[in-house]
Structure 1
């Protein structure tokens, strides 16, 4: 009797993992946008990571890793966006593994909003420091960008985005929500930092032989937008799943 129950549970998990993989493939194939950097399609904007993160949170870290790695391999066979590189498969696997580990093993009483504040502050400082290091941002005669005055709208927009990043989790998390938005933002932030900002950027330098600074600024800026957006969508889907299970 126990063996039959275990088999049913395993079968259900496999089916759910397959659904998450299929969702990721559809989102990547149908709704992916490439932004060339230095003539190379180094920046990809899509929502394919969301089902992979969900697979880790819902099904566990091991299943999440297998779902992420499988999704990358299948996607390469269906729609290759460049030469195959195993590092990207690893990063895709970690996109499923890390949310599962964080969500399963971190404590509920941690002040995730404080951790998110530290994260976005460090990301902001890193982003500005990168531009100053590259000589794209200077404060000699007012704020200059590549020799031209930087429009104040961009500066205001940057700080507005930081505020949104910090405020949205507090506003969205409600007493009726089964999932802590602050924890989801923390989970997505750590996952994107390790996979997108660090690993994939490093793998691009290996694959195309360009310095890390050729990719890093745009990838950091993109994650300013994608991390809050990913978090909102993930919480909405998780709450929908929870309601379906209760009904």
Structure 2
């Protein structure tokens, strides 16, 4: 976590990202049922979490992700609470920032670099971890869940990446790191 992340501005951004994520995830997304369970969520609630990591650093990005999941669940419970999803949300805030830092040291925020960082992170978090949590919770075969989840990620990774690219490139206040 860098110093600017712990400033009043950084903490304010973190609170804003948490609130945006909760609203976008819990009220402005929809679930697709796969094998009798809510197996795929389509929405934009991950964008504020990813942005928090890019703007505030991976440590605060992880905190924003975890807080968004826990507070969002407390306000809008939907199914049982499972801490694995909180871990995934935390990693969703940290991993894109870490990968983007590794491939874009001069912070040029090129679209290709953002999509690579978001895609690698999303494959780890959404396809691998979240699918694993659903298999553990609901005892469904991974072969049943994975095709729908892969299809959703193939659509959402480029869309989310473009929105993140646009926000980071064209909103000057977001370049705080």
* Length-normalised TM-score, structure 1: 0.66
Distance 1:208 1:7 in 2: 42
Shift of 1:243: 6.9
Asked if 1:51 corresponds to 2:48, the answer is: yes
Asked if 1:194 corresponds to 2:111, the answer is: no
> Given the superposition, is the C-alpha separation of residues 224 and 72 from structure 1 closer, same or farther in structure 2, using an over 3 Å criterion?
same
The equivalent position to 2:73 in structure 1, one of 65, 76, 87, is: 76
> Given the superposition, is the C-alpha separation of residues 244 and 191 from structure 1 closer, same or farther in structure 2, using an over 3 Å criterion?
closer
**Matched residue SS, 1:215:** helix
Alignment of 1:88-167 (within 5 A): 88-108=85-105
**Larger RCO: 1 or 2 (CA < 8 Å, sep 6+):** 2
Structure 1 or 2, whichever has the larger Rg, is 1
Shift of 1:38: 1.4
> Given the superposition, is the C-alpha separation of residues 36 and 9 from structure 1 closer, same or farther in structure 2, using an over 3 Å criterion?
closer
Aligned position for 2:38: 41
Distance 2:40 2:34 in 1: 7
**Number of residue equivalences:** 173
Shift of 1:106: 3.0
Shift of 1:89: 0.3
The worse-fitting range, judged by mean Cα deviation, of 234-243 and 10-19 is 234-243
> Given the superposition, is the C-alpha separation of residues 35 and 240 from structure 1 closer, same or farther in structure 2, using an over 3 Å criterion?
same
Query: Any unmatched runs of 5+ in structure 2?
Result: none
Aligned position for 2:26: 29
Shift of 1:104: 2.1
Asked if 1:240 corresponds to 2:170, the answer is: yes
Shift of 1:8: 9.4
Aligned position for 2:153: 223
Deviation track 1:160-214 (CA, whole Å, cap 9, x = no partner) reads xxxxxxxxxxxxxxxxxx5200000001101110010000000100000111112
Shift of 1:31: 1.1
**Matched residue SS, 2:44:** coil
> Given the superposition, is the C-alpha separation of residues 107 and 237 from structure 1 closer, same or farther in structure 2, using an over 3 Å criterion?
closer
Distance 2:126 2:153 in 1: 8
Aligned position for 1:115: none
**Matched residue SS, 1:80:** coil
Aligned position for 1:67: 64
* Length-normalised TM-score, structure 2: 0.90
Query: Any unmatched runs of 5+ in structure 1?
Result: 1-5, 110-177
Say if 2:5 and 2:57, in contact at 8 Å, map to a contact too: no
